[in-house]
């Protein structure tokens, strides 16, 4: 049975646009890396079944009017594309190792900041793991960029919607 995906293939780039040539952020936690590996293994297990389904449907006859065949072929292409994307991300991955030193904010640290007498804690990680509602921000976000390299007691200004918002750094973990 022929292979349905090729490790040597590259992920195609889209036509140039404002976000089309941006490469994914390689920074991720060990947990995110393991999650991607598990997803990749699951997808690879689906390939033989899906290839067999495409083959079975191809035997039914005319490809132009065989809608089930077209859908199965599309699903197989989608699985193969996902495999290529995840493999590429895993090859380029850079694992975030939390630093024990807390005199300056770095990627992987949890930072408690204060604005208008309200304190909020954010963990600074790579772009692929951000979830501001759970207190996880990207090191590329305006707040993340402003926090990197700062120390406890520093006050930073972040420009959001043409407005400067000031934050005081309370704690670094």
Confirm whether 105 is domain-assigned: no
Domain endpoint, select from 71, 95, 119: 95
How many domains, the chain?
Answer: 2
Confirm whether 136 is domain-assigned: yes
Q: Which residue has the tokens 């941006």?
A: 22
Question: The domain spanning residue 41 has which CATH number?
Answer: 1.10.287.180
**pLDDT tens across the length of the chain (173 residues):** 344 445 555 656 556 666 555 677 899 999 999 999 999 999 999 999 999 998 888 887 777 777 888 899 999 999 999 999 999 999 999 999 877 877 899 999 999 999 999 999 999 999 889 998 999 999 999 999 999 999 999 999 998 888 899 999 999 98
Confirm whether 13 is domain-assigned: no
Burial of 168 (0-12, 13-18, 19+ CB in 10 A): middle
Strand partners, 171: 112
Confirm whether 50 is domain-assigned: yes
Q: Do 32 and 91 sit in the same domain of this protein?
A: yes
């Amino acid at each position: 049975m022929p292979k349905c995906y090729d490790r040597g293939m590259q992920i195609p780039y889209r036509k140039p646009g404002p976000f089309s040539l941006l490469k994914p952020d390689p920074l991720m936690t060990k947990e995110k890396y393991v999650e991607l590996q598990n997803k990749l293994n699951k997808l690879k297990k689906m390939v033989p079944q899906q290839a067999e389904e495409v083959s079975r449907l191809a035997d039914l006859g005319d490809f132009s009017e065989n809608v089930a065949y077209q859908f199965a072929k599309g699903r197989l292409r989608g699985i193969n594309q996902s495999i290529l994307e995840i493999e590429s991300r895993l090859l380029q991955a850079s694992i975030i190792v939390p630093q024990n030193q807390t005199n300056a904010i770095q990627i992987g640290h949890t930072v408690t900041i204060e604005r208008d007498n309200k304190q909020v804690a954010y963990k600074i990680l790579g772009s692929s793991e951000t979830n501001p509602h759970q207190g996880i921000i990207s090191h590329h976000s305006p707040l993340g960029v402003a926090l990197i390299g700062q120390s406890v007691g520093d006050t930073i200004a972040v420009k959001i919607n043409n407005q400067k918002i000031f934050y005081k750094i309370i704690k670094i973990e």
